[in-house]
Amino acid sequence: MSNKTFAYIRVSSKEQNVARQIETMKKEGINDRDTFIDKASGKDFDRPNYQLLKQMVREGDTVVFDSITRMGRNMNDTMKEYEWFVENEVQLRFIKEPMINTNNGQDDIMKQAIQKIILTLLTAFAEKEREEIKTRQAEGIAVAKQRGIKFGRPTIDVPENWNNLYNQWKAKEITAVQFMTEVSMTKATFYRKVKEYEVSK
C-alpha cells in the first residue's frame, strides 16, 4: 500500500472560517477526503477529528499543517504530540515553519538538536500568544461590562405568568391552545417565543 498525505486544519471557534487553510491544502494537492478539520481550542488535543487522524495514519504517511499553532497551543502537549508522530514514523510538514518538518535531515544529530530547539521556541510562543489573547478578551469584557454592555443570552420578553404556564404546558396540565389564549398570542408568535425561551434557559 502506498503512503498517503493528510491535512489537518484547526480554527479556535465555530465562527472562524477555515476556507483559507482549505485552499492552502488544495494547493498542496491534498484531497478533501484526506483533510481533517476541527473547530476547537488549541489548548489541548481532545478534538474528535484530530484523534481520528491519529487513528488513520500509518508508518510512512505524511500529515501537513498550515502552522505549528494549528497543531496546538500548549507547549508541553504539542511537543509530546510531535514526538508521537516521530516515534510512529509519520512525517510532519508545516507550511509556515519548514525548519521543523520531520523529514529534514532526521539522520543528522545536530540538525535534530537544532530542530528541537526551534520547536520548543515555536510552541512556547504559541502558548504565550494564546494566553495574551485570553487576557485581551478578559480585559475587553471587563471594560464592556463597566460601560453597561450585557453578555450572555438575551432575556426574552414574555408575559409575567409565562414560566408557570410553560411548566403546566410541559407537564400536559394545559394544552397549547389554552397557553396561547392565556398569553394572548397567535400560534406563530407563541411557538417563536417558546423557541426563544427554551434557547435562553
Range 4-31 average pLDDT:
92
Domain that residue 187 falls in: 162-200
CATH number of domain containing 31: 3.40.50.1390
Query: Cell digits for 133?
Result: 489573547
Q: Are both 176 and 81 inside the same structural domain?
A: no
Q: Are both 101 and 174 inside the same structural domain?
A: no
Task: Give the predicted TM-score (pTM) of the model.
Answer: 0.62
Asked if residue 72 belongs to a domain, the reply is yes
Q: Domain total for the chain? A: 2
pLDDT tens across 23-45, in order?
999 999 998 999 999 999 888 99
Range 83-88 average pLDDT:
94
**Other residues' Cβ atoms within 10 Å of the Cβ of residue 111:** 13
Q: Are both 75 and 22 inside the same structural domain?
A: yes
Look at residue 21 and tell me whether its pLDDT is greater than 70: yes
Look at residue 80 and tell me whether its pLDDT is greater than 80: yes
Q: Are both 48 and 117 inside the same structural domain?
A: yes
pLDDT tens across 105-137, in order?
456 776 777 778 888 888 887 787 767 766 776
Query: Cell digits for 20?
Result: 483559507
Q: Are both 63 and 107 inside the same structural domain?
A: yes
Asked if residue 15 belongs to a domain, the reply is yes
Range 69-96 average pLDDT:
94
Q: What is the pLDDT of residue 107?
A: 63
Look at residue 50 and tell me whether its pLDDT is greater than 60: yes
Q: Are both 54 and 102 inside the same structural domain?
A: yes
The catalytic site residues sit at 12
Helix ranges restricted to H, the chain: 19-27, 48-56, 68-71, 75-87, 109-146, 162-170, 176-183, 187-200
80-93 burial: b if 16+ Cβ within 10 Å, else e:
ebbeebeeeebbbb
Q: What is the pLDDT of residue 85?
A: 96
Q: What is the DSSP letter of 100?
A: G
Q: Are both 111 and 22 inside the same structural domain?
A: yes
Look at residue 64 and tell me whether its pLDDT is greater than 60: yes
**Other residues' Cβ atoms within 10 Å of the Cβ of residue 76:** 12
pLDDT tens across 140-180, in order?
766 677 776 665 555 557 788 888 898 999 899 999 999 88
Which of 74, 104, 128 is the last residue before a domain boundary?
A: 128
10 beta partners: 38
Tell me what the pLDDT averaged over the chain comes to. 85
Asked if residue 138 belongs to a domain, the reply is no
Task: Tell whether the torsion through CA atoms of 134, 135, 137 and 141 is positive or negative.
Answer: positive
